[in-house]
Structure 1
Amino acid sequence: MSVRVAVVSAGLSQPSTSRMLAEQIANAVSAQVSARGEAAEVEFIELRELAQELATTMVTGGLPTPAVAAARDVLANADALVAVSPTFTASYSGLFKMFFDVLDPDTLRNVPTIVGATAGTARHSLVLDFAMRPLFTYLHALVVPTGVFAATEDFGGGADGAGLAGRVRQAASELVTQVMQAGSAVGGFVQSDADLTRRVSGNQLGATPDFASLLKGHAGSL
């Protein structure tokens, strides 16, 4: 079994603490997957590089650019998600929100997810529970109990279990446990595909109805 992990980082600077945190979490997830005898395929989506593409997508009525379409496909095919944003005005960044606004509502349905955030001070840590969890709950993702918040002082600290490294390991363990349980579900005890809403990227266009179908039953009067 190969576990596909999508990692979304919304840091604006380079280097970025949000990217650093995303990498720590991704490495912990990979280690947890490997410890269970499986392989992890990790793919990063750096939103800083997609900023102009996302703006173009938004102002063209949601028509994705090729780069945005590719990012949406990554999430639609992922078995797990790690999403990290810097904290701006007590919430996630506008760039982070813009990316998840252009997703199909079913892209992340039932996807095990770790939410993470960074800020200059630990006073912003509630951003995980009051901003990020509601967003991913709306998108029907399965957010693991442990969120990972990192203030500036957390970077460069020791690997004590009560510190950042411990939170990262705990969140990774919860995520991989969810992924493995979903991958080894016993037949007959899970809903069939027909009973579940299928995950889609939103890039697929449905068939365009012809004019005869559109005008069916129209009497011609206004």
Structure 2
Amino acid sequence: MTEELRGLRGMLEQVDSASLVDAMGRVHGHRADIVDLVSPDPSRVMFGPAVTVAFLPYRDDLPEKDLGFATVFYRAVGDAPEGKVVVMSSGGHPDVSHAGGTKLSRLHNHHVAGVLADGRLRDFSELAGYGFATWCRGQATHWGGATVMPYAANIAVEIGGVCVVPGDYVYADSGGAVVIPAGSVRRVLEEAVRIEAEDKHSAEVIRAEDPVRLRSGEQTASET
């Protein structure tokens, strides 16, 4: 894990997905939030630079030796997998299993920070025990290899209507996921910290407001 990533992680205790989405809205004009995700352990926060695995509908005429999960995974993470987030597109089939505990044990073995899948995953009980965070579209029991296949590593992918480019930073918690461009990640995190401070101040003002004056209209807009 790089010193830059360690420094960014130090700011995460002060923010969450909501403040990061608000911060992205102040810094950028494109959509960055992904919702309706589930996890075998929703208490785990995920953060790290993205590597991508693009899934496509399965074809039986393509050579499996070039397209198996292991091959595409190692192409994606390269020589420095630690701290990365593996982002897997759905191939148009978000309700199909894209991997399970056995295949994804590679992420644990190589100290990957997490997996964000725009499809379902199997073996939630196993995934909960690994050393990475898992966020996906739901749990599956049926094998999905006859429907989708990993096809390419480290290309831009679409996840829940959001463009993810390799190197983007991905944050996920129980509120959802946020995709942050690498070039502005520190600025966005700093803005999110300010937003959290603003919200805390606003909550203090609300606690001190006078319901009687508000009902009567005596309290001015600047006071509310």
Question: Which one has the bigger helix percentage?
Answer: 1
Same fold (TM over 0.5): no
Question: Which one has the bigger strand percentage?
Answer: 2
TM-score, length-normalised on structure 2?
0.28
